[in-house]
Amino acid sequence: MVAAITLARQLTYVLAALGILAVPALAEDLDCRWFFPAIGRTLPVRCDEAVHPISSPAAQEVRAERNVLGLTLAPLSEDLIDKFSIEKRLNGVVVTQVDANSEAAGRGITSGDVVLQTNQEVILTPDDVVRSVESATKDGHKTILLLLSNARGETQTIPLSLG
C-alpha cells in the first residue's frame, strides 16, 4: 500500500511538472483537477472522459471579469476565442468591453484585444492585471505599459495613466 501511495505521489509530481494535472485523491472519493493554461489556474473537474470544470466558488472566481483602467477583462475561454476570432496561440486576458470615456478607448483599445503583459510581467488572469496596477500605483508610477495583441496576433505597447 505504501508503494502505491508513493507511486501515485510521484505521478502527481510528473503530471504537474508537465503542466498537466488530473490527479485522483488518495482518499475513497476522486478529486480530479486540471490545469487550464489560458487562465493559469488548476480547477476541479469531473472525473470522466471529458474535462468539465466543476461549478464551485473557486471556479466561478477564476471566470470572473474584472474592471480596471476602463477595461473589462476576462480569462481567455473557448467561447471568447470564438466570439472575437482570437488566435488560439495567444495567452493572456481578453478585453470584453472598453469604457467609451476612458483613456483606453482613446488609445484604440477595443473589445477582443488580448492583454499579454503589463510592465513586462506576463498576464494570465484578470487578477494579474489588477495586482500589477495596484503594485505600480503603490510604487508611485504614473503610467502602466500594456502589451496587447489584436485578434490576428499583431502586438502593440500602449501606456495608460494610473489614477
- Give pTM, 2 decimals: 0.61
Q: Can you tell me the mean pLDDT for 54-68?
A: 59
Domain 64-161, CATH among 2.30.42.10, 3.40.50.360, 3.40.50.2300, 1.10.490.10: 2.30.42.10
Which of 44-58, 73-87, 104-118, 145-159 is least confident? 44-58
Q: What was the pLDDT predicted at 47?
A: 55
Q: Angle at CA 9, nearest 5°, toward 5 and 13?
A: 170
Ranked by mean pLDDT, the top range of 71-75, 88-92, 117-121 is 71-75
Domain definitions of the chain by residue range: 2-61, 64-161
